[in-house]
Amino acid sequence: MLGRINHIAIVVPDIAAASKAYRETLGATVSQPQTLPEHGVTVVFVELPNTKVELLEPLGEASPIAAFLAKNPDGGMHHICYEVADILAARDKLVASGARVLGNGEPKIGAHGKPVLFLHPKDFFGTLIELEQV
């Protein structure tokens, strides 16, 4: 079921400072910040040769990552996104195995414009897993 790792998401308190650290200190290729008000985040893409890291800063009052940052004020690794070929087939297999899908169980359109689902971290040893149909 799991395909490529599409991205690793890291929540940061200050995306300008984090972009500078990844670009200048770590010497990575870093995009300009993009504000995604409908997803409650500002995102910067750190492009690596085989995948990417997404730096996320909360945007707006209802940001879905605000609680994570309140609990982890320095920031931290937030989730791993795996690509799947068929998100409904993946969802059905997962639910049949007893895994819990967050929200109402239906895929939503994610920040990349593609269908995504999140799996309950308690079912995967503390790791929040996003599945994205590509």
Residue 61, Cβ density class (10 Å: 0-12 exposed, 13-18 middle, ≥19 buried) = exposed
Stretch that binds its own copies, among 31-39, 59-67, 107-115, 116-124 (CB under 8 A): 116-124
* Integer CA distances (angstroms), 3 to 65, 81, 82, 85, in order: 25, 10, 6, 8
Residue 123's closest CA among 88, 93, 98? 98
Is 21 a binding residue for its own copies by CB under 8 A? The answer is yes
Is 125 a binding residue for its own copies by CB under 8 A? The answer is yes
Task: Considering the complex, state which of residue 112 and residue 123 has its C-beta at the smaller distance from its own copies.
Answer: 123
Rounded least distance, CB 23 to its own copies, Å: 10
Judge contact between 41 and 48, C-beta under 8 A. no
Using CB under 8 A as the criterion, which residues of the chain lie in contact with its own copies when the complex forms? 1-5, 8, 10-14, 17-18, 21-22, 24-28, 46, 48-51, 53, 55, 72, 74-77, 80, 82, 93-94, 97-99, 121-127, 129
